[in-house]
């Protein structure tokens, strides 16, 4: 599968060097994409800049019709996209299909939401003036996306950007450009005019630098590591670039002693092991109140033991490969550090590397303590460390003891304890008796070093709009 990049409605880049995309389950080549750099990125930005006036002047209803067509095409091609997504990213095919439908839901939601970008009339303090606050698209948007959700992280940005009237250049992760390119093909098929959607693959630092320094780019929206997010903040200073950042997380899962343990186990398994734990909102550490600590671990182990590891293309597989060697080594280091410092392995604990493919079994660690690496750094793997706590306040203190603030999970049947805990947690997303809180219609984003801004929901389109205040003298 040899694909090209998409600039100004044309597929180009055949003359560039290639990046080989590999299947993380087998190490085999899946396809190639061009290794573009600053020059191609500049052309893509110019195309988006040229397309902006006419796209932004369409009515919201006209833009919505394009997005509805785009949505329908994604749904019609869902099986095909999911296959490619699994081949290049590794997640089980059923999860890949779930992600494609989730990706489509952002296009649908924002196709509708674009029609509700309301202006506001403000009562004036002077009889001879009228005051208005109107909203307009920010302009050309650059979107940088990660490999763990190759489809959804694109539509969560592209959907609201296009609905708001912005044009866009997408730079997908080098591990998963093929899914992204399939989406761009469908955008073309939906008839979205040339230059409105552009896509470049290649040297991340060079492309990123062009995004950050080119004055035609008015907004950069990024999902990825906190480290690169901080670098983008630094780079954004010279041009005071409008930034939205969805960065790393270190989600606590808190199980209080009145929790319905069936629910808690179901939620913890869903949160922790979806995508093999390679999700920024997945539970990274579990705190269980002492009275139910042993019972929770027993039930949790019983459920986790059933999860099957393997090639995501094989039926019945629940956990695919780890994305690459770096990812694998980090997981391995976290587990070894915890065991060395006194944690014990209830399940798993030993990965395997074969022919350039890396697999890690679902692992449960107990008797974990706060100082361990796994309780501080994002693991991005199928490892669940469990720590005991006594009082509710203690749980909130442990949970908040992190520079991250993306997602947290609380399991309790008691509304009073639950609400107090929810209010005490410094996280942008809380799943209360729910391990899978993400949805197109809900605001997603983090506090502290987990990011700036929200995606999805009514907040998601605001990121692509400027407010313009107009004072009219009569």
Known catalytic residues? Answer: 246, 280
The answer to whether residue 224 forms part of the interface with ligand ADP (CB under 6 A) is yes
Shortest CB 45 distance to ligand ADP, Å: 14
Rule CB under 6 A: choose which of 68, 72, 112, 231 binds ligand ADP: 231
Q: Which one among 23, 77, 145, 284 touches ligand ADP, defined by CB under 6 A?
A: 145
Selected from 8, 56, 124, 225, the binder of ligand ADP by CB under 6 A is 225
- Give the closest residue to 122 by CA, choosing from 375, 472, 441, 462: 472
Cβ distance to ligand ADP smaller for residue 30 or 173: 173
Binder to ligand ADP among 208, 348, 361, 457 (CB under 6 A)?
208
Query: Which one of the spans 93-101, 141-149, 366-374, 412-420 is the region binding ligand ADP (CB under 6 A)?
Result: 141-149
Residue at shortest CB range from ligand ADP: 208
Residue closer to ligand ADP, measured from CB, 146 or 321: 146
Residue 146 binding ligand ADP, by CB under 6 A = yes
Q: Which of 144, 217, 338, 347 binds ligand ADP (CB under 6 A)?
A: 144
Q: Which is nearer to ligand ADP, 224 or 428 (CB)?
A: 224
Q: Is residue 146 a contact partner of residue 137, using CB atoms and an 8 Å limit?
A: no
228 touching ligand ADP, by CB under 6 A: yes
3-state secondary structure the chain: CECCEEECCEEECCCCCEEEEECCCCCCEEEEEECECHHHHHHHHHHHHHHHHHHHHCCHHHHHHHHHHHHHHHHHCHHHHHHHHHHHHCCCHHHHHHHHHHHHHHHHHHHHHHHHCCCEEECCCCCCEEEEEEEEECCEEEEECCCCCCCHHHHHHHHHHHHHCCEEEEECCCCCHHHHHHHHHHHHHCCCCCCCEEECCECHHHHHHHHHHCCCEEEEEEECCHHHHHHHHHHHCCCCCEEEEECCCCEEEEECCCCCHHHHHHHHHHHHHHHHHCCCCCEEEEEEEHHHHHHHHHHHHHHHCCCCECCCCCCCCCECCECCHHHHHHHHHHHHHHHHCCCEEEECCCCEEECCEEECCCEEEECCCCCCHHHCCCCCCCEEEEEEECCHHHHHHHHHCCCEECEEEEECCCHHHHHHHHHHCCCCEEEECCCCCCCCCCCECCEECCEECCECHHHHHHCCEEEEEEEEEC
Choose between 172 and 283: whose C-beta lies nearer to ligand ADP: 172
Q: Which stretch binds ligand ADP (CB under 6 A): 29-37, 225-233, 345-353, 395-403?
A: 225-233
Supply the minimum distance, in Å, between the C-beta of residue 96 and ligand ADP.
18
Beta strand pairing status for 447-448 and 404-405? antiparallel
Residue (53 or 403) nearer to ligand ADP, CB? 403
**Which tokens go with 103?**
């990706």
Q: With respect to ligand ADP, which residue has the nearer C-beta, 64 or 176?
A: 176
Instruction: Considering the complex, state which of residue 107 and residue 243 has its C-beta at the smaller distance from ligand ADP.
Output: 243
Residue 173 sits in the site that holds ligand ADP (CB under 6 A): yes
Q: How far is the CB of 345 from ligand ADP (least distance, A)?
A: 26
User: Smallest gap, in angstroms, from Cβ of residue 173 to ligand ADP?
Assistant: 4
Instruction: Evaluate whether 376 touches 402 at the Cβ level (below 8 Å).
Output: yes
Are the beta carbons of 323 and 90 closer than 8 angstroms? yes
Is the Cβ of residue 134 or residue 204 nearer to ligand ADP in the bound state? 204
Place of tokens 């979107």: 143
How many CB atoms within 10 Å of residue 22? 18
Interacting span for ligand ADP (CB under 6 A) from 152-160, 168-176, 388-396, 400-408: 168-176
Residue 93 in the binding site for ligand ADP (CB under 6 A):
no
Q: Which is nearer to ligand ADP, 25 or 212 (CB)?
A: 212
Q: What residues numbered 185-204 form the site for ligand ADP, per CB under 6 A?
A: 204
Instruction: Find the shortest distance in angstroms from Cβ 174 to ligand ADP.
Output: 6
Nearest distance, CB of residue 218 and ligand ADP, angstroms: 17
> Least distance to ligand ADP from the beta carbon of 373, Å?
17
Task: Please identify which residue in 29, 205, 298, 470 interacts with ligand ADP, judged by CB under 6 A.
Answer: 205
Length of the chain (residues): 474
Determine, following the binding rule CB under 6 A, whether residue 174 of this chain makes contact with ligand ADP.
yes
CA separation for the pair 444, 428 (Å, rounded): 7
Specify the stretch interacting with ligand ADP by CB under 6 A; choose among 101-109, 124-132, 144-152, 426-434.
144-152
343 contributes a contact to ligand ADP by CB under 6 A: no
Footprint of ligand ADP (CB under 6 A): 144-147, 171, 173-174, 204-205, 208, 224-225, 228, 231
């Amino acid at each position: 599968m040899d694909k090209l990049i998409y600039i100004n409605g044309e597929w180009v880049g055949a003359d560039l060097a290639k990046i080989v995309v590999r299947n993380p389950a087998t190490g085999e080549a899946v396809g190639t994409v061009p290794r573009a750099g600053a020059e191609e990125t500049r052309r893509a930005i110019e195309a988006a800049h040229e397309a902006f006036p006419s796209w932004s002047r369409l009515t919201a209803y006209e833009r919505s019709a394009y997005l509805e067509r785009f949505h329908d095409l994604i749904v019609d091609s869902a099986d095909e996209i999911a296959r490619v997504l699994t081949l290049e990213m590794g997640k089980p095919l059923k999860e890949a299909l779930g992600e494609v439908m989730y990706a489509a839901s952002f296009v649908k939601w924002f196709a509708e939401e674009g029609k509700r970008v309301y202006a506001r009339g403000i009562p004036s303090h002077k009889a001879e003036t009228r005051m208005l606050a109107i909203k307009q698209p920010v302009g050309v948007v650059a979107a940088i996306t990660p490999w763990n959700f190759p489809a959804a992280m694109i539509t969560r940005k592209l959907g609201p950007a296009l609905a708001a009237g912005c044009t866009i250049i997408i730079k997908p992760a080098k591990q998963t450009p093929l899914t992204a390119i399939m989406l761009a093909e469908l955008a073309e098929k939906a008839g979205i005019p040339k230059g409105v959607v552009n896509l470049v693959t290649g040297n991340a630092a060079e492309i990123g630098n062009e995004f950050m320094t080119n004055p035609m780019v008015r907004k950069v929206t990024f999902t990825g590591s906190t480290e690169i997010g901080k670098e983008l903040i630094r780079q954004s200073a010279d041009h005071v670039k409008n930034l939205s950042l969805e960065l790393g997380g270190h989600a606590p899962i808190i199980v209080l002693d009145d929790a319905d343990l069936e629910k808690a186990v179901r939620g913890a398994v869903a949160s922790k092991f979806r995508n093999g734990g390679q999700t920024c909102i997945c539970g990274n550490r579990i705190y269980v109140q002492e009275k139910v600590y042993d019972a929770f671990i027993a039930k949790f182990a019983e459920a986790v033991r059933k999860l099957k590891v393997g090639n995501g293309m094989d039926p019945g597989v629940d956990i695919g490969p780890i994305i690459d060697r770096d990812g694998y080594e980090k997981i391995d280091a976290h587990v070894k550090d915890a065991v060395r410092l006194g944690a014990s392995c209830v399940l798993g604990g030993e990965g395997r590397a074969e022919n350039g493919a890396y697999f890690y079994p679902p692992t449960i660690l107990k008797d974990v303590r706060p100082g361990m690496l796994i309780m501080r750094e994002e693991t991005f793997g199928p490892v669940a460390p469990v720590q005991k706590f006594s009082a509710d306040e203690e749980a909130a203190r442990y949970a908040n003891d992190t520079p991250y603030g993306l997602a947290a999970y609380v399991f309790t049947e008691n509304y009073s304890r639950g609400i107090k805990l929810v209010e005490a947690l410094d996280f942008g997303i809380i799943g209360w008796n729910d391990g899978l809180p993400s949805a197109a219609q809900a605001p997603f984003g983090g506090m502290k070093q987990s990011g700036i801004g929200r995606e999805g929901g009514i907040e998601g389109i605001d990121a692509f709009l400027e407010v313009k205040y107009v004072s009219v003298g009569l």
